[in-house]
Amino acid sequence: MSRPSGTARDVQRWLVMICSVVGALGCAQSMSPPSPTNQLPDGVISDTLDFQHKIAAFTASPAPHDRQRKAKCFLSLCSRIDVRIEAMGTTSQIDPYNAPPHGLPVAHLHNYDKKRTERFFGLLPGAQAEYYLWVDRKPGGSNQARWTLLQVSHTSNSVTAAVPADLNLCHLRKPGVKPTSDADFIEDRYHDEPCDAPLPAAVPKVSQSSLFPAPVFAAVLAHVVNFLQSAFQTEGGWIDCNNGCCT
DSSP string, 194-240: ---SPPP-------TTSSS-HHHHHHHHHHHHHHHHHHH--S-EEEE
Q: How far apart are CA 123 and CA 81, in angstroms?
A: 11
Is the per-residue pLDDT at 21 higher than 60? no
DSSP 88: B
Could you tell me which residue, 214 or 237, shows the higher pLDDT? 237
Residue predicted with more confidence, 9 or 135: 135
Which pLDDT does position 215 carry in this prediction?
52
Average model confidence (pLDDT) across the chain: 81
**Reported confidence tier of residue 211, pLDDT bands at 50, 70, 90:** very low
Least confident of 62-66, 87-91, 177-181: 177-181
- Pairing outcome for strands 183-185 and 129-137: unpaired
pLDDT of residue 80: 93
Alpha carbon distance 238, 188 (integer Å): 9
> What residues contact 86, with CB distance under 8 A and at least 6 apart?
60, 61, 63, 64, 65, 107, 108, 183
CA pair distance 6, 212, nearest whole angstrom: 11
Average pLDDT over residues 115-140: 96
The CA-atom distances, in angstroms, between 65 and each of 45, 83, 182, 193 are 28, 8, 9, 19
The Cα–Cα gap between 208 and 172 comes to 33
Give the whole-angstrom CA distance, residue 23 versus residue 46.
Answer: 32
Angle at which helices 6-26 and 214-232 pack, to 10 degrees?
20
More confident residue, 220 or 144: 144
DSSP 36: T
Give this prediction's pTM. 0.76
| Share of residues in the chain with pLDDT > 90 (%) | 59
The secondary structure of 139-164 as a DSSP string is TTT---EEEEEEEEESSSS-EEE---
Residue 116 φ/ψ region, left for φ over 0, alpha for ψ in the -120 to 50 degree band, beta for the rest: beta
- How sure is the predictor about 205, in pLDDT bands with cuts at 50, 70 and 90? very low
pLDDT in tens, 44-85: 999 999 999 999 999 999 999 999 999 988 765 678 999 999
Q: Which one has a higher pLDDT value, 98 or 29?
A: 98
Mean pLDDT of 154-162: 97
* Region 78-107 average pLDDT: 95
Of 133, 139, 164, 124, nearest in space to 239 by CA: 133
Across the range 196-220, mean pLDDT stands at 53
Q: Say yes or no to pLDDT of 193 above 50.
A: yes
Percent of the chain with pLDDT over 70: 72
Mean pLDDT, rounded, for 131-140: 96
